[in-house]
Amino acid sequence: MMKRIVTLQDISCVGRCSITVALPIISAMGVECGILPTAVLSTHTMFQTYTCKDLSDQIEPISDAWEKEQVSFDGIYTGYLASGEQCHQVCDFFDRFSGRSSGKRSMVIVDPAMADNGKLYAAFDEAFPAEMAEVCAKADVILPNMTEASLLTGLPYKTEQDPAYIRQLLEALLELGCGTAVLTGVSYEPGKLGVAALDRDGNEFSYFTRRCEQSYHGTGDIFSSTVAGGIMRGMRLKDALALAADYVVRCIEATAASDSARWYGAEFESQIPWLCRELEERLRRG
């Protein structure tokens, strides 16, 4: 039977991030994707002018209606959340819908999308990372980038990385309470970039690709959505991470070959056929 995931993040109407990325990618991967929009923005917050309508007051009534209709999810995937208060609501949502009480556990995947390149996104204040840490505490898998990991753990943000520092960050992330911590944007040598993960049983793994010169907004959302889709399709986490990293590289390469502005995100659409083919191929190989 087809798996059903629900993603909780904003709708940035233009700019290729959050729901406008998650929905097409997860659907293309053969997974039903429900949405619970946390806010509606004209664009993501890296544009100079943007509007934002917080939808916090919709989370509870939508949850109530779903509960009445006995809607259930195989997975819950969260991204950009609009406020600290909303982080609490999302924790309540996990308690209601992750099936921990009914025994049919759903996978909780949290991308604590709140910062990049050493800086919090424009809409957040310094108190926000501690609220997001509470969301991470309830997750099976968290997917922070280096900046987010440093804000979540209080460890310094370093652009020069080594394995000891990455291990320290991963251990500190696990201490938040999540099942597996995945760090993105890990780099030990100039031409390579990748991810490193550690789970509660002490299993550690990493995956590296070539480092692309260009960077585009929203690639973190492309990555996390692909990981979520891969897990829902039954991939092992490390295989889902590798597929997601390879897909992001292809998306960046496709975008670099065109002349689109980086604020409009990466052209993930043109690489969806590759993603679908590669997903089925890698699932077959096992």
* Separation CA 91–CA 186 (nearest Å): 28
Q: How many residues bind ligand PXL (CB under 6 A)?
A: 14
Least distance between ligand PXL and beta carbon 210 (Å): 23
**Closer residue to ligand PXL, CB minimum distance, 47 or 205:** 47
Q: Which stretch binds ligand PXL (CB under 6 A): 44-52, 100-108, 135-143, 205-213?
A: 44-52
**DSSP per position, 21-62:** HHHHHHHHTT-EEEEEEEEEEEE-TTSSS--EEE-HHHHHHH
User: Does position 45 bind ligand PXL by CB under 6 A?
Assistant: yes
Q: Which is nearer to ligand PXL, 51 or 168 (CB)?
A: 51
Query: What does the DSSP 8-state code read for residue 98?
Result: S
Q: Which stretch binds ligand PXL (CB under 6 A): 27-35, 43-51, 151-159, 193-201?
A: 43-51
Burial of 4 (0-12, 13-18, 19+ CB in 10 A): middle
How many CB atoms are closer than 10 A to CB 134?
15
CB of 220 to ligand PXL, least distance (A): 6
**Contact of 196 with 204, CB cutoff 8 Å:** yes
Crossing angle (nearest 10°) for helices 84-97 and 56-68:
10
Which residues, numbered 202-231, are part of the site for ligand PXL (CB under 6 A)? 218, 220-221
Residues from 132 through 191 that contact ligand PXL (CB under 6 A): none
Residues that bind ligand PXL (CB under 6 A): 10, 12, 17-18, 41, 44-46, 80, 113, 121, 218, 220-221
